[in-house]
Amino acid sequence: MSQTRHNPQTSKEIPAKLFTCKNEQLAILLAFSQDLNAQYLQSEVIKELFAQLGQVLNAQNLSRIAESSQEILPKLESPALLAINSALKKIQNAQICEEAHIIAMQKKIKNLLQENLLQPSEIKEQFFIIAREIQALFTNTQFEDKKTTKAIESIIENLTNGHFSIGVSGVLSAGKSTFLNALLGEEILSTSTIPETANLTILQYGAKNCAQVRFWSRGEWEELCAQKDADIRQFVKETQELFNTNLAGYLTEPPRVEEISLDSLSAYTSANHKDKFCNLVREVRINLPLKFLEQNVSIVDTPGLDDPITKREEITKSYLVHCDLLIHLMNASCAATQTDIDFILETLSERNISRLLVVLTRADLISQKELEQSLNYTKQSLRAQIAKLSAKIDVSEMLSRITFIPLCGHDALLHRINDSARTPKVALEKTGILEIEQYLQTLLFGENSLKSRDMLYLALNALQKLVREKEADLELESSLLFASDIQLQEKISEIKAQNDSLHSQAKSAKEAILAKFEELKNALNTMQNAINTNLQSQRERLCERICGNIAYDRAQKRAFEVELLQDSLLIGLKDIFADTTRGFKFHLNAKISQTLQALQNEGFVGESELLNAPNFSFYAKDSQVELFAKNLSAQIAKYAKTREFQAPIQKAFEEVFLEFEKIIFEKSAQIKSENLAFFDSIAQNAYKAYEEQIAHTNALLNQTLARREEGKNKNLEKEMGALQENLSNISHKLDSLRAFLEA
């Protein structure tokens, strides 16, 4: 390994000690470029490294050693190359070196690895071998540990039985039912079998066709009753009048669930059904014995993006957060509506979603030129709206995460069901359904898919964590079992000091998490004040424009047109309120994400807790804005006839905007309340994790001392050393597998 190699260009010998460098040190040398000469020469890390290499640190030697670090790459084994590549990624993310140079180094490493890289399917196979090897170490041996073997079995099961969830969204008449029928390969979502519904619907595999209807719980209904929104109040009032004294029988704790046949589903989900049971239903799960769903796939079919019942909309969006993939449907002939644009922006900028598939339905009803125009309009609209949100967002990067696929849904369905009575007009390969299926295969279902890689990565992390915990336990046991009496007392004192430290850390963690909530609350107050200031400015501009139009009409002796005024106000108010709520959502969610990321970096929260963070939907409903515009135009029409019209019109504008400010204030209060509960929960969990660690250490201490007292440590030192060595080797194997996966 220490053998030297000569560079034909420089004829300089590679320092033998370079081969003894750590992978992270080699990565730092590989990241060097001439524009960083001054920074590197001043770096304490580089000074220490050159002292270790026995080299004088100057500009000439720095360039020579950096070049030599590239030359030794072909002599290194794959695990080392993978570790160096991983370290280079960290340097790249820190943005402290020239990115183009780092990418060139990564490409060089990738080329060297190409022949020896393991595919995810091979990594998975190796993972199972290692997992079983660990289980064998703790089964029917003197180190038997049922808790460990059970935990490994759970990790294996989670990897083997991975669940895939696909969220499907779109406005009314976007063609969701036709698309899903084509994807499922059967005309199951016809209006006669499963009518259109406002309820959240989850399609999943089942041996027989049936459905489970889940009603609102008593607590959820009480939340609805407490809402101040006019639409929700009307919904609650209508439901209470319809069901009267029978209402309590449906709204129970725990929530009532009924299994029904698909034939009777419309009675529970159709808004047009005379019994109106749909008002009581929170969600519906439909079981279907279809091949597509048999792959452990579920489809979350959303009721719509502008549900008047905000509680139901929030439930829907909480499901979408946990989906592996989101598919958004848009009618190609209608281009992107404002609702479409808002949803796409919210999905990519406010949620932890890396990819979005946008399906342009009914593509066969327009020409190729019109389809391209529709797609270009959508992208331009997105660019404009993203630019409004923040100048810091990379628009091109965000758009690159969206895949657009046109779909001739009706013809795709006809090809899939092979209906001899109906002949498709478009060939199967031109319908778009094959392209969509290939997209799903790449992202979700294939052995080397992104989803499979993610599942494997989580399994590797879980197993590595378990191995490291066992290594720590064995090290503690060994230090207690084989210590002298004096060493034993010192070790016990050390453990007690560590536990005291953990108690302090537990308290500090809890305080730090709650302090982050206070920061978030203050940021929310600042945003609210900024919004109020912005609304005042927008209000004054709109009011000035309307008053100017009235004055101009008077000067021109033109008749005052109320309908024209109402249309103008509606457009103006919609733009103002939509921009305000969109900006509020974006900046608040960015702050929440930033806060949670900081807590995750400090080790206070994990991935699962991040997924359970509160999400909220906030917009000015069209019906609300239309009511504002109608009432305001009526007042303006009245004051426009008077001589001094400006002052009363200004007051009318103030009253309308004050109502909108109230909506923002109420939403802010809700956000504070939900986040307080969430942050309090993770603070308690963090505290509990420290306490459990202390309890585990104490239990292990007592157990080991009892074994020592009974004299059961004889002839155990050699076996325990062998076990520790085995676990150390396994840990290195898992590191290598994870590095292969990240390559």
Q: Looking at residue 133, which CATH number applies to its domain?
A: 1.20.1440
Report the alpha-carbon distance of residue 214 to residue 255 in Å, rounded: 7
Report the alpha-carbon distance of residue 243 to residue 276 in Å, rounded: 9
Residues 151 and 211 in one domain: no
pLDDT value of residue 4: 32
pTM here? 0.69
66 falls within a domain: yes
User: pLDDT class for 158, splitting at 50, 70, 90?
Assistant: confident
Residues 610 and 738 in one domain: no
pLDDT value of residue 189: 66
pLDDT value of residue 252: 94
Confidence check: pLDDT of 308 > 60: no
422 falls within a domain: yes
Q: Give me the residues paired with residue 214 across strands.
A: 257, 283
Q: What's the pLDDT tens digit per position in 501-514?
A: 999 999 998 998 89
Residues 56 and 70 in one domain: yes
SS3 257: strand
Which is higher by pLDDT, 314 or 602? 602
pLDDT value of residue 86: 80
Q: What's the pLDDT tens digit per position in 582-617?
A: 777 777 777 887 888 888 888 777 766 776 777 666
* Lowest pLDDT segment from 34-48, 55-69, 263-277, 599-613: 599-613
The sign one gets for the Cα dihedral 622, 624, 626, 632 is negative
Both tokens of 560, joined, read 């005052």
Domain count, the chain: 4
Q: What's the pLDDT tens digit per position in 203-212?
A: 999 988 899 9
4 falls within a domain: no
In three-state form (DSSP H/G/I as H, E/B as E, the rest C), the secondary structure along 310-367 is: HHHHHHHHHHHHCCCEEEEEEEHHHCCCHHHHHHHHHHHHHCCCCCEEEEEECHHHCC
Confidence check: pLDDT of 466 > 90: yes
- Which uninterrupted H or E stretch holds 404? strand 402-406
Report the alpha-carbon distance of residue 242 to residue 240 in Å, rounded: 6
Q: What's the pLDDT tens digit per position in 48-66?
A: 999 998 889 999 999 999 9
User: pLDDT class for 311, splitting at 50, 70, 90?
Assistant: low
Q: CB within 8 A of 113, min separation 6: which ones?
A: 78, 81, 82, 85, 743
pLDDT value of residue 431: 94
Mean pLDDT value of segment 525-537:
88
pLDDT value of residue 648: 92
Is there a contact between 408 and 431 (Cβ–Cβ < 8 Å)?
Answer: yes
Confidence check: pLDDT of 24 > 80: yes
Domain housing 718: 118-162+449-482+713-742
Q: Which of 62, 63, 57, 72 is nearest to 14 (CA)?
A: 72
Q: Which of 355, 359, 360 is nearest to 444 (CA)?
A: 355
User: pLDDT class for 563, splitting at 50, 70, 90?
Assistant: confident
Residues 215 and 247 in one domain: yes
7 falls within a domain: no
Residues 614 and 663 in one domain: yes
Angle of CA points 176, 177, 183, to nearest 5°: 90
Residues 461 and 444 in one domain: no
User: pLDDT class for 353, splitting at 50, 70, 90?
Assistant: low
Rounded-to-10 torsion of CA 382, 388, 394, 398: -30
54 falls within a domain: yes
pLDDT value of residue 304: 59
Residues 471 and 411 in one domain: no
Which is higher by pLDDT, 306 or 489? 489
Confidence check: pLDDT of 13 > 70: no
Domain edge (last residue) among 55, 86, 115? 115
What share of the chain in percent tops pLDDT 70?
Answer: 89
Report the alpha-carbon distance of residue 90 to residue 96 in Å, rounded: 10
Residues 295 and 198 in one domain: yes
Q: Which of 725, 160, 129, 706 is nearest to 470 (CA)?
A: 725
Confidence check: pLDDT of 98 > 60: yes
Q: What's the pLDDT tens digit per position in 183-197?
A: 888 877 654 444 455
Confidence check: pLDDT of 492 > 60: yes
Q: Tell me what the pLDDT averaged over the chain comes to.
A: 83
pLDDT value of residue 666: 80
User: pLDDT class for 258, splitting at 50, 70, 90?
Assistant: very high
Q: Which of 181, 203, 190 is nearest to 295 (CA)?
A: 203
5 falls within a domain: no
Residues 620 and 738 in one domain: no
Which is higher by pLDDT, 175 or 360? 360
pLDDT value of residue 190: 54
Residues 471 and 374 in one domain: no
Both tokens of 678, joined, read 């969430």
Phi, psi of 297 (to 5 degrees): -105, 140
487 falls within a domain: no
What share of the chain in percent tops pLDDT 90?
Answer: 24
* Lowest pLDDT segment from 343-347, 402-406, 655-659: 343-347
Task: Please enumerate, as own/partner, the contacts of 592-600 that have beta carbons within 8 Å and a separation of 24 or more.
Answer: 592/520, 592/675, 593/350, 595/516, 595/519, 595/520, 598/516, 599/512, 599/513, 599/516, 599/682
Q: What's the pLDDT tens digit per position in 376-433?
A: 888 888 777 777 665 556 667 777 778 899 999 999 999 988 877 788 899 999 999 9
Residue type, 427: A
Residues 136 and 196 in one domain: no
2 falls within a domain: no
pLDDT value of residue 29: 92
pLDDT value of residue 391: 55
Q: What's the pLDDT tens digit per position in 170-182?
A: 876 778 888 988 9
Residues 381 and 418 in one domain: yes
